[in-house]
Structure 1
Amino acid sequence: MKTIMIQEMPDHLGETVRIGGWLANKRSSGKIAFLQLRDGSGFVQGVVVKEIVGEELFAKARSITQETSLYITAEVTVDERSSFGFELQVKDVEIIHEAVDFPITPKQHGTEFLMDNRHLWLRSRKQHAIMKIRDEVIRSTYEFFHLNGFTKVDPPILTGSSPEGTSELFETKYFDENAYLSQSGQLYMEAAAMALGKVFSFGPTFRAEKSKTRRHLIEFWMIEPEMAFVQFEESLEVQEQFITHIMQSVIQNCSLELERLERDVSKLEKYKAPFPRVSYDDAITFLNENGFDDITWGDDFGAPHETAIAEHHDMPVFITHYPIGIKPFYMQPHPDRDDVVLCADLIAPEGYGEIIGGSERIYDYELMKQRIKEHNLDESAYAWYLDICKYGAVPHSGFGLGLERTVAWISGADHVRETIPFPRLLNRLYP
């Protein structure tokens, strides 16, 4: 008898198979018991009919407790009522380990309780679906960049300085000097782009930002491409093509998960390149004309501002050419203005906010030295970075995409804490 996973059932229609899994839930109706089974690859219903399996096995099936691990021997049959399309006609049940008093029951639970039990909450249908979508975003990310000639490069997690020039860093001792957990691999990726042309990184980043919003995590994952000989507008095209690619991949490969999350796929299907572009100047004017009197030119946008702009377009929208005073030191100035830089944030619709930040990078040696000085940064700490401008400098651009915010947007999750297996929040380091 073949042991298979639930996701393999369509290839074994009419066969008797063995599946190892856990009992997610159960119900019974007279002489029939319905076992809701999961094995990590998916969920399926096992039907236990008393007349077929006998009284002893039927009683055993009805007594199985939630999250008990077991082996099921059953025939794979069609079930047109389920979105999966198949079910199991159970012939035998073997208990591996009985779970007693599993804390997360089908009833409603508070957020803090679920977060305290995150290691168990991951087993739920909703969390399973979100993690599968996260995995598909990751898979399709590698696919996109490799299809487009990028090389994967891994920047260090321990660094000696801050790429953003901020104080929101986690500091640690590095033998006899100070080091910091990386808040971005960008500067290192710029160096890699000068060696390999088009590169991308995909790794954890850390921000010691004391924020409790639904968009923020302390530890999160970033996708950071850098591209030599690519200028601002070309970079925007890469970004919208990338978003379109991962969106279509999720729609195609995670239909069951999107259905389980009750995600409106018709919305996702329309999020295709090209995306609208709105200058910072025009965005300020739009906001002021639509009841946002609290923001003036030179201010950064908050969540309500971003949401209003994205809702107006009902699409992901680029906000371009921000004031130089609210952006990091490395961004290339506008060729015709000295008050804005060649940058853009991509704002997701439906209230999910910024998912990409990017810019063309400065490649003039003297200008880069000037910017470092203006931002009160230690030039000696950035000597290696200045070498990028010093030796064979070329126009280059890059961007960073936050994985968890993107997964939250695609899956329709309420909070980014649901889009990472074990979230690190301002008040949470457990489990």
Structure 2
Amino acid sequence: MHVVMIGTGYVGLVSGACFADFGHQVTCIDKDAGKIEGLKAGRMPIYEPGLDTLVARNVQAGRLAFTTEAAEAVRAADAVFIAVGTPSRRGDGHADLSYVHAAAAEIADLIDGFTVVVTKSTVPVGTGDEIEAIIRERRPDAEFAVVSNPEFLREGAAIDDFKRPDRVVVGLNDERARPVMTELYRPLFLNETPIQFTDRRTSELIKYAGNAFLAMKITFINEMADLCEAVGADVQQVAKGIGLDKRIGGKFLNAGPGYGGSCFPKDTLALVRTATDAGSPVRLIETTVAVNDARKKAMAAKVAAAVDGDLAGRTVGVLGLTFKPNTDDMRDAPSLDILPALQALGARIQAFDPEGVAEARHLLPGVDFRPDAYAAADGADVLVIITEWDQFRALDLERVRTLMRTPVLVDLRNIYKPADVRALGFRYASVGRA
């Protein structure tokens, strides 16, 4: 099938490359000429494990192409995917749909013959109706169907998530779109992937509801972590004990400094705004948003407490800046709250991240970025682990201790065992453990 992906950001690029790997003919379109030229030259605009190899393989096979010119590809397409950004709108928290609306208008002017227009971007309930109205107004004669097909990709594991998903959700109000969407995802039938066909508005809400539930689960275990510290319990054992219950499950029960990233913060906020506008407020999600924001800001106080409450003039080494490992994404990362708060307490910051430094330089002024973990620890009064990159799980802690001015380790991801670290002479603080 001929597929067009409008937008070569995280979702569009990964989805386009994976569809091409399924054997479809895919054209990825972006207004950013520099990004397109880079992709043609094999340079990825994002860090995602395995993506460069996947793109190169399908470009070489002639199944994947990149361009700034939409006309020819859209006219030949069986399905055109909208995969543009929907950031939180300044001032009110609603999803900014300006890029989605612009893509719909462009598609309307170019489609030729029956075309399925697929919303891959995360959008509020009713956006499919708006897209349909935009296209119909500009092209009353057009033959098309608008479909919702939300993405469920985890950064750092996106390719595997696309090819081996828990489920595929397709929301449609026009049955003509069903065989097209079925054929697009036919390779997944071999894996017996559940494909849920539903109406468009339900599909749009599934995406928001799923992300909101996971964000709530993270926030729940973080509050349990605080309670564990207060009463002398171990949050990791609590998480294991409740996670073994199949009704709960163990995923997203890792206590830490709060959630961040490109999805949970904006999607929970957008769901709150949508629900409020509909007169059906979601109090649990409102509280989740507020508690998570407060948690990220409170982590600086936890670091200060590890050095007797005084950070003035002290050096803090930081390991990990991105919101999670295996990505270069800094969007709403806890580090963006924690590091400025540490600086406000008088600390000097020296930090290392395996992939996030290029973006962090623009977002974290006054930070001394170091080339590796040991350089970040060199001369530090306290070392803080914010992101659980694999390379931080097996540090030579004896070497770290000799490099530091004072051996204090604050582990906000609980990747070390307290007894082991303390046996090496460290003062050690973690999350939700006595």
- Asked if Structure 1 and Structure 2 have the same fold, meaning a TM-score greater than 0.5 normalized by the shorter chain, the answer is no
**TM-score, L = length of structure 2:** 0.24
Q: Which has the larger radius of gyration?
A: 1
Q: Which has the higher strand share?
A: 1
